[in-house]
Amino acid sequence: MLFFALAALALVFAGWRIWRRLRYFLHMAQLEGYRPSRLGRWYRQHLSLLARPSHGVGLALLLLSIPLGSIFSWSNAVLLALILWPFVFISSRKYRSDQQKKPLAYTNRLKRLMGVSASLALLLLVACSMWGVATGAPTGFLLFLTGLLATDFLAPQLVLLGTVLVQPVERYFQEGFKRQARRHIASRPDLTIIGVTGSYGKTSTKFVVAEILRQKYNVLATPGSYNTPMGLCLVINERLRPEHQMLILEMGMRYRGDIRELCEIAQPDAAIVTSVGPAHLETMGTIENIAREKSDIIRHARSGAPVFLNMDDPLVAQMAEIAGGRVWRVSANGHREADIVASDIAYGPEGTSFTVRDDTGSSASFTTKLLGSHNVLNILLGVAVGREMGLRLRQIAHAVKRVDPVKHRLQLRQKGGVTIIDDAFNSNPVGARNAVEILGQFNSGRRVIVTPGMVEMGERQDKENRALGELIAEHADLALLVGRNQTEPIREGLRAGGFPDEQVKVFDTLFDAQDFLKGFLRDGDVVLYENDLPDQYEA
C-alpha cells in the first residue's frame, strides 16, 4: 500500500512540474512570435533555463538506485527512489504564472501548439512506460521514472519541435484570414485607410488621429499594439462595420518585408511615419535598413496618397522624396519647411501646453494630458491629418484635450501621496530621455527611477544605456536598477555623471524593486518606471 501511495505522489509531482515547464516555454514561444528560429535563439541565450539543478538530482537518484539494488534489494531501491522522487519535481519560482509581466494568452494558436507539445510529451512518457512494462519490475519502474525525468528535461525541446510541426497548419489559417481581410477591404471602396508606422510613437499617434477624426467621421482604430498581420486581420474581419468611414491601422515591423505584408492586407490611402530609431537593430542590422523598411508604407500606399512626416527626424524627413502625393511636414523645433509647427511648449503635472501654427498661418493654443516633446510631435501629425481631412485648427485643439495617455506610455497617476510616471512600455532612447527630463521637472519630493535599461538595439545598446545613466544622474535622486548584467552600462553612466553610489540600488527583478519601494516612499515622492523587460528577457 505504501508503495502505491508513494508512486501516486511521485506521479502527481512529476505531472505538475512537467506542465509548469511546458507552460513556461509555451509562454516564451508566444512572446517570440511562435517562430522556431527566434525561440531557438532565445534558448541559446538562456541555456541555464533549459536544464535545472533538479534534473541532476533526478539523474543521480536513478543512478544510485542501480548499486543499491544490487547490494540490498530492488524493492528497497525502488522504495528509496519513490520517497525522494517528489523532491526532484518541486517546481522553481521561475515557472510561477503570477510572476509573469505579460500573462500567457490562451489563444487558439496557443492551444494548437499546446496540444501538439503535450502530445509529444505524452508520447515520450508512454514510450518509456511501454519499454518498462516489457522489461518487467523493478527495472521497468526505474525506466518509467527515467521517462518522467526525460519528459521534464526535454520540455523546451518538445515546445520547439511543436512550433515546427504546427507551422504548416498556422500558415494555412493565416492565409485564410488574410484573404478574408482583403475581400472585406475590397468590398469597401468608400473606406479611407490611414496607416501609421514608426520606431516609436505610432500607438500614441494612432489614438490622437482617431480622436481628432471622430470630430467629423465614424472611426475604427486598431486597439492597443495590434500591429501585426494577424492583429490587422482580426480588426478588419471582426470589428469593421458598414458605418465606419475611417480605418486607422498601426503597422509594426521587426523583419524586412513586414510593412509590405501589412500594406498588402490593407493598402493605405494615407501614410504617417512618426520616427526612425534603433528599435529592432538586432533583426534589422542598421538604422538605414529600419528607415527603408518604414518608408515602405509610402511605397505601398495608394498612388497619390497624402504623406505625413516628422521633420525633426532627418531619416523621416528624407522620405518626402518618394512621396507621390501631398506631403505634410510637422515640427516641434521650428523647421522652416514644416506645414504644422509647435512653439511655447511647457510641461507640468497636468500635462503639456503649446501653441500650434498650421499651413494657413492660423494658430491656436493646445493643452493635452500627454507628457513629453515626442507626444507634441505625435499630436502635430494628428493636426496635419485633421487639416487634410477638412477639420479646422480649433476643432482639432478641442479633440486633443480629450486624448488620454496610452497605458504604460508616460501615464501619470497618483498612488496615495506618491506620483507615478508609468513609462514601462518598450523604452527607446528618445522616449527614455523625455521621461527622465520630465521626472527632473518635479520638485515635490524625492525623484526615483526604476529601470532595467533598453534592449534590442544591437551594438548600440551599451552606448545608449550609458547615455541614459548620465542623464539619470542629472535628474533623479535615487536609481533602482533591475538586473545586474543588463544595467552595468547604466551604472557606468551614473558614475560618469557623478551620481553617488549609495543612491544606486540593484535588484534581480522588478518585483524585488517594488517590494523595496513599499517601505521607502513617502508623500510627495515621484517614481518613474522606465521600461519593463518582457518575460523572455533576463535582466
Among candidate residues 32, 18, 377, the one with its CA nearest the CA of residue 209: 377
C-alpha span between 384 and 393 (Å, rounded): 9
Tell whether domain 411-530 is in CATH 3.65.10.10. no
**Cβ proximity of 265 and 181 under 8 Å:** yes
DSSP for 492-519, please give it: HHHHHTT--GGGEEEESSHHHHHHHHHH
- pLDDT at position 288 is 92
Beta strands in 121-223 (DSSP E): 192-197, 219-221
Grid coordinates representing 496 are 560618469
- pLDDT at position 539 is 46
What is the CB neighbour count within 10 angstroms for residue 214? 14
Could you give the residue range(s) of every CATH 3.40.1190.10 domain in the chain?
188-400
Q: What is the pLDDT along the chain (539 residues), one digit of tens a residue?
A: 655 666 676 677 777 888 888 998 999 898 888 889 888 988 887 787 787 777 777 777 666 666 655 555 656 666 666 666 666 666 666 665 555 556 788 888 999 999 999 999 989 888 877 876 677 666 666 677 777 778 888 899 999 999 999 999 999 999 999 999 999 999 999 999 999 999 888 989 999 999 999 999 999 999 877 899 999 999 999 999 999 999 999 999 888 899 999 999 999 999 999 999 877 777 788 889 999 999 999 999 999 999 999 999 999 999 999 998 999 999 998 888 899 999 998 876 677 899 999 989 999 999 998 887 888 999 999 999 999 999 999 999 999 999 988 777 778 888 888 988 888 876 678 778 888 988 888 888 899 999 988 876 767 788 888 999 999 999 999 999 988 888 889 999 999 999 998 999 998 888 888 899 988 989 999 999 988 765 544 54
C-alpha span between 261 and 178 (Å, rounded): 10
- pLDDT at position 299 is 96
Q: What strand order describes the sheet that includes 418-423?
A: 411-415, 418-423, 526-530, 447-451, 478-482, 504-507
Residue type, 356: V
Alpha helices in 227-349 (DSSP H): 229-238, 258-265, 281-284, 287-299, 314-317
Output DSSP code: residue 447. Answer: E
Q: Which residues pair with 332 in a beta bridge?
A: none
- Name the one residue in this structure whose C-alpha cell is 538530482: 57
Grid coordinates representing 445 are 519630493
**Cβ proximity of 397 and 379 under 8 Å:** no
Distances (CA, A) of 435 to 232, 310, 325, 345, 466: 30, 20, 35, 15, 16
Q: What angle do CA 42, 103, 490 make, to 5 degrees?
A: 55
Distances (CA, A) of 389 to 192, 210, 269: 10, 12, 12
What is the CB neighbour count within 10 angstroms for residue 171? 10
List all residues 6 or more positions away from 274 whose beta carbon is below 8 Å from its beta carbon: 196, 197, 198, 199, 200, 201, 202, 205, 310, 316, 377, 378, 381
- pLDDT at position 97 is 55
- pLDDT at position 218 is 97
Tell whether domain 188-400 is in CATH 3.40.1190.10. yes
Output DSSP code: residue 306. Answer: -
Grid coordinates representing 254 are 521587426
Could you give the residue range(s) of every CATH 3.90.190.20 domain in the chain?
411-530
- Name the one residue in this structure whose C-alpha cell is 517528489: 86
Residue type, 252: G
C-alpha span between 129 and 7 (Å, rounded): 14
Q: Quick one: which H or E segment has residue 86?
A: helix 74-88
User: What is the C-alpha radius of gyration for the chain, rounded to an integer number of angstroms?
Assistant: 28
**Cβ proximity of 124 and 158 under 8 Å:** yes
Grid coordinates representing 239 are 470589428
Q: Quick one: which H or E segment has residue 340?
A: strand 340-348
- pLDDT at position 305 is 96
